[in-house]
Amino acid sequence: MTALPGTHEPRGRPYVGRLAPSPTGALHVGNVRTFLVAWLRARQEDGRLLLRIEDLDHPKVKRGASRALLEDLRWLGLDWDEGPERGGPHAPYVQSRRSAHYRRALGRLAAGGHLYACSCTRRDVTSSASAPHGLDGPLYPGTCRDRFPGWHAAQLAARPRAAAIRFRVPPQAHVRVRDRFAPPLDAPAHRIGDFVVARHGASHAYQLAVVVDDLAMGVTEVVRGDDLLPSTPRQILLYRALGHEPPAFVHLPLVVGPDGRRLAKRHGDTRIAAIRAAGARPAALLGWLARSLGIDVDAVEHPEALLAAFRLDAVPPEPCVLEPERFAREIGIAPAALGA
């Protein structure tokens, strides 16, 4: 098998990190914990940090969410060097305005024989008895791999839905993700499966967009939650198919409730907007976030105060458990203010 390493330290290139919020809702404590680490990594490396709005999930995008999340980040003292309102050499910094970049990438992938048309729906895949189980659920069993001569035939079969465009995973591929925080992840081809990169004549998938944008913007390290770790082998295959090495990856444990499940309304209101409205000071929340990252501090007036103490290898490897009542008290507000 051909081993595809998950990360390479880009040689001779300055550090470039990114914040990539999605305006599908308000930022919560788990989001900003990851963004704080991304900010600290970039500032410790004396690198550049860009902010990109990932708004391709159109049905879930909330009006006004982009503006609100920028306000929440600034309230915490986080800043960036490039972004939608700052501009920069890689504009636009909003994915819904970058379709031309994705179309060009699809053209390159198609020319290299990496894509094929597919008329199957998600339900077809999940209900298929032949669908194997992969890294994060049922895998596509390859039903349409050699079924259609081109997009038009697939679209006729898929109507009224849009035909999918899938990436053809080489059967000999074996991706090993060497993360800078999470344990190594081995992913042979049969655990990855052919995956969707676009819908014909419609939307582009997250897997494609994030790779194209990180390449175009020169990102050298991606810091994100470990719920996205299973997507990483697919993205590494796209980097390679486009002729580039992937950036380094840092996948951090999520913030979860006492029940071990990701934050939700049942754990109280952990939105930054709600925390602000309840009267919490940014310094108190920064202090809580810092302690969750292994830094022994109380209130922190600005993220810069954490630069000397932050170490990636000191971050606890297990999920960060948020106990609603205790959390509210530790950031100086009444638990009832957050529904805890």
Q: 282: cis peptide before it, omega within 30°?
A: no
> Is 265 in the active site?
yes
Could you tell me if 214 and 18 are in contact, meaning their C-beta atoms sit under 8 angstroms apart?
Answer: yes
Q: Are 332 and 280 in contact (CB under 8 A)?
A: yes
Q: What are phi and psi of 311, to 5 degrees?
A: -135, 130
- Whether the bond between 59 and the residue before it is cis, its omega within 30 degrees of 0, is no
Token reading at 217: 């913007």
Which of 46, 172, 265, 318 is catalytic? The answer is 265
How far is 118 from 166, CA to CA, in rounded Å?
7
Name residue 105's amino acid.
A
| Other CB atoms within 10 Å distance of the CB of residue 91 | 14
Strand partners, 222: 249
User: Which residues fall within 8 angstroms of residue 295, CB to CB, at 6 or more apart?
Assistant: 306, 309, 310, 314
How many CB atoms within 10 Å of residue 14?
11
- 297 CB-near residues (< 8 Å, 6+ apart): 287, 290, 291, 305, 306, 309
**Where are any strands of DSSP class E within 138-263?**
164-167, 173-177, 185-188, 195-199, 221-225, 248-252, 255-256
Catalytic residues: 265
